[in-house]
């Protein structure tokens, strides 16, 4: 069989623990036999991040911007417990995802992968709902204050020119808590552009919701910037037969629950945090969520939404064959290959990405599943729980049948 050629390399970001093991298996069984794979490899494993003082993460993100398409394995974000587990760590390094997100200035889109035996909890949902979460500011960059005495709290803005704006937050008669948060108009604009672009790329309607009836200035700014940005995209939306729809977040929740799915729901940072967990749980599991980071310049990074599945890794180290679900990581690879193929105008590479996804879905729908899916499945489904390796072998066999018969 002739392998499929690539023109431009993918930026490959390797990771940690069980997902690092799956990464290697996916490459060996599902990609290298079929594709003359070209990648620019960055090892984002925790120890290499430590060795390079985290410069490898920065270099990988810059490469993703330059080459346009990246695929990332899940990585450990160190916390206190990890500092004890890895005594060689010289610093509690930042989350690689946060570093990459801030360099690419991107928006994260999370989309569930649906299989036959795991029905969404919401029975009307027929197609995936993609959550687009603004990844900067609001609660996540807020400053908090706790006070004991009666008094007044003010918000004071001092411009570099020296001009000041002052606003009374509240007069408190006793102990109180306070919070101030911010966002940049440029970040909201990038968020809006990424959402409109992704809606066009994936041919889906875009919904956006805030609480601008209460938060007239802050949320009102989000609403207005989306409207301004939409004016440039609206002809392309009309041509594509898709629509942009703004509503209040409470109305959006009611409509989402009664919907059939099949659209993108853009949310502010906190709303996106909560709603993406709600949507992934209601669709099945975190192990079936793909995640795509899209920058306003169009560069894209694909990954699974889940973490490094630590417990499975420790069982793997003891010689067990864990049943870790590789689906979302496979879809990260297929998404990146399809995107690379479409940018480089390589239809064979796009078709390979599609075939890889289909082979994965056919294998799962035919009853070979990992244990997490087995536990979630409807009880009468005739399913066989298998290890990750067995599942990947079965997917590879389907791919071989498809490509060898050509």
Q: Which residues bind ligand NAD (CB under 6 A)?
A: 74-77, 97, 286-287, 303, 306-311, 324-325, 372
Write the CB contacts of 376 (distance below 8 Å, at least 6 apart in sequence).
118, 284, 285
CB atoms within 10 A of CB 73: 26
Alpha carbons 194 and 344: distance in angstroms, whole number: 21
Pick the closer one to ligand NAD by CB: 121 or 214.
121
Question: To the nearest whole angstrom, how small is the minimum distance from the Cβ of residue 238 to ligand NAD?
Answer: 36
Q: Where are the beta strands (DSSP E) in 214-315?
A: 244-248, 263-267, 289-294, 300-304
Question: To the nearest whole angstrom, how small is the minimum distance from the Cβ of residue 204 to ligand NAD?
Answer: 23
Question: To the nearest whole angstrom, how small is the minimum distance from the Cβ of residue 98 to ligand NAD?
Answer: 10
Question: To the nearest whole angstrom, how small is the minimum distance from the Cβ of residue 46 to ligand NAD?
Answer: 8
CA distances from 14 to 60, 74, 158, 364 (A): 10, 8, 44, 25
CA 25 from centre of chain: 22
Question: To the nearest whole angstrom, how small is the minimum distance from the Cβ of residue 141 to ligand NAD?
Answer: 20
Alpha carbons 304 and 160: distance in angstroms, whole number: 42
Pick the closer one to ligand NAD by CB: 76 or 118.
76
CA distances from 283 to 34, 197, 293 (A): 31, 25, 21
Pick the closer one to ligand NAD by CB: 212 or 303.
303
Write the CB contacts of 288 (distance below 8 Å, at least 6 apart in sequence).
112, 113, 114, 115, 118, 280, 325, 327, 328, 373
Phi, psi of 145 (to 5 degrees): -145, 140
Pick the closer one to ligand NAD by CB: 255 or 371.
371
Question: To the nearest whole angstrom, how small is the minimum distance from the Cβ of residue 189 to ligand NAD?
Answer: 26
Pick the closer one to ligand NAD by CB: 209 or 290.
290
Pick the closer one to ligand NAD by CB: 10 or 350.
10
Pick the closer one to ligand NAD by CB: 60 or 206.
60
Question: To the nearest whole angstrom, how small is the minimum distance from the Cβ of residue 339 to ligand NAD?
Answer: 19
* C-alpha Rg value of the chain to the nearest Å: 23
């Amino acid at each position: 069989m002739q392998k499929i050629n690539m023109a431009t390399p993918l930026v490959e970001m390797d990771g940690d623990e069980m997902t690092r093991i799956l990464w290697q298996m996916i490459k060996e069984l599902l990609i290298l036999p079929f594709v003359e794979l070209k990648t620019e490899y960055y090892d984002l494993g925790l120890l290499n991040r430590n060795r390079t003082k985290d410069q490898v993460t920065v270099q990988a993100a810059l490469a993703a911007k330059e080459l346009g398409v990246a695929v990332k394995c899940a990585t450990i974000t160190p916390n206190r417990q990890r500092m004890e587990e890895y005594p060689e760590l010289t610093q509690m390094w930042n989350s690689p995802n946060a570093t990459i997100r801030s360099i690419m200035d991107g928006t994260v889109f999370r989309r569930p992968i649906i299989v036959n035996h795991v029905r969404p909890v919401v029975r009307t949902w027929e197609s995936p709902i993609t959550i687009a979460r603004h990844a900067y500011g609001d609660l996540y960059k807020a400053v908090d204050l706790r006070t004991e005495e009666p008094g007044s709290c003010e918000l004071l803005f001092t411009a570099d020119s020296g001009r000041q704006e002052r606003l009374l937050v509240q007069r408190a008669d006793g102990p109180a808590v306070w919070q101030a948060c911010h966002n940049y108009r440029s970040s909201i604009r990038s968020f809006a552009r990424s959402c409109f672009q992704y809606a066009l790329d994936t041919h889906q309607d875009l919904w956006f919701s805030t609480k601008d009836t209460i938060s007239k200035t802050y949320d009102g700014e989000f609403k207005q910037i989306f409207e301004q940005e939409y004016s440039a995209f609206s002809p392309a939306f009309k041509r594509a037969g898709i629509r942009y729809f703004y509503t209040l977040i409470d109305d959006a929740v009611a409509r989402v629950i009664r919907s059939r799915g099949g659209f993108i729901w853009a949310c502010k940072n906190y709303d996106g945090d909560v709603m993406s967990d709600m949507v992934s749980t209601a669709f099945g599991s975190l192990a079936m969520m793909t995640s795509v980071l899209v920058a306003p310049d169009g560069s894209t990074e694909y990954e699974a939404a889940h973490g490094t599945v630590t417990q499975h890794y420790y069982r793997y180290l003891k010689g067990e064959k864990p049943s870790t679900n590789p689906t979302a990581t496979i879809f990260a690879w297929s998404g990146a290959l399809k995107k690379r193929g479409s940018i480089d105008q390589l239809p064979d590479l796009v078709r390979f990405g599609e075939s890889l996804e289909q082979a994965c879905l056919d294998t799962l729908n035919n009853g070979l599943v990992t244990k997490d899916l087995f536990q979630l499945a409807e009880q009468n489904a005739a399913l066989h729980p298998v290890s990750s390796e067995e599942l990947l072998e079965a997917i590879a066999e389907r791919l071989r049948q498809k490509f060898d018969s050509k």
